Structure 1
C-alpha cells in the first residue's frame, strides 16, 4: 500500500512537493486547518516559503503544537528551506543551527551540484533565499554537501534541506524521506 504524505499547504511551494510525491506513488493530502491533522498520514513535508509566516499561521490555526508534538514523537518529516527553519528554530525538533537567507536574497538565488552522502554522486541543488546549516547537534548526519558544508541533514525521523528538491529532477532526498516513512 502506498504511503499518504501530508504537505503543509498554508503558504509556499507546496504544490510542487505534492506533484513529486504523487509521481513517486504516494497519496498527498494538504494540511490547511487543524481538522486536517485528524486525517491519517504517514509523513509530513514542510515546504519552502516564509518560515515566520508559516509559524504564525500554524499558531493562529491551532496546528503548531499538535504538529510539533507528532514530529517529536517520530512522525517522519521533510523540511525544505523554510521547512528546515521550522524544524530547527520553531519546532526545535531538529538539532541544527541555521542562519536565514545566508546564501543571499532573492537575486542571489542559484543552482549548484552537491554530493550525496559522501559519495561522488552529484545531485542538482536549487537555492532560493536559502538558510545555511551552521552547526550540527548530536546524532545529526549530513546527507548532501556543497563545498564540504552540509546543505541537507538527517536526524532520526527528520530530514532538513536548505535547498528546493521539488524544483529539480533528482529524487534522492524524497527517496531518503520515504525510507523513513516505510
Structure 2
C-alpha cells in the first residue's frame, strides 16, 4: 500500500513495467494476424520501440533504486485479452486490421496516461533525468498513436468498408443524410 509519493511512484513504475512486458508478449500475435503491410510494419517497429521502452524503464528504476518487477498491470491484461479475442473472433483481412488498430490505440492511450503521470511525478520530485527519459517514451507513444490513426484513415478503414455488402454501405449513407 502506498503511504507516500515514493511508494506511489514505485507502484506506478512497476505497473507500467508490467504493462510494457505484456505488450512485448502480445505484439507478435498482432503482427501475425495483420494483413495490411503498413500496419504490419508499424507493429514490427513498435515491438522494437517497446523493447527500448522496457530498457528505459529499467534504467529509471535502477537510477531510483526501485525493483521494476512487482506490480501486475491488470488493465493491460484486460486490453491484451481483448486483442486476443478480436484475433480469435474475426477473419483475417481489413476488418480484423481495423479492429487491431483500435485495440492497439487503446493500449497507446493507456500508456500515454501512465507515462504522463510518471513524468509529472518525477518532475515534482526533482528527478529530472528520469522524467526526461520517460517523457521520451511518452512522445513515442503519441507518435505511434498518430501513425495508427493515419494508417486507419488512409488504408485500413477504406479497405474494411470495401468488404461490406453494397446494401450495408447504402444503408449507412442514407442514415447519414
TM-score, reference length from structure 1: 0.26
Higher normalized helix content (fraction of residues): 2
TM-score by length of 2: 0.26
Larger Rg: 2
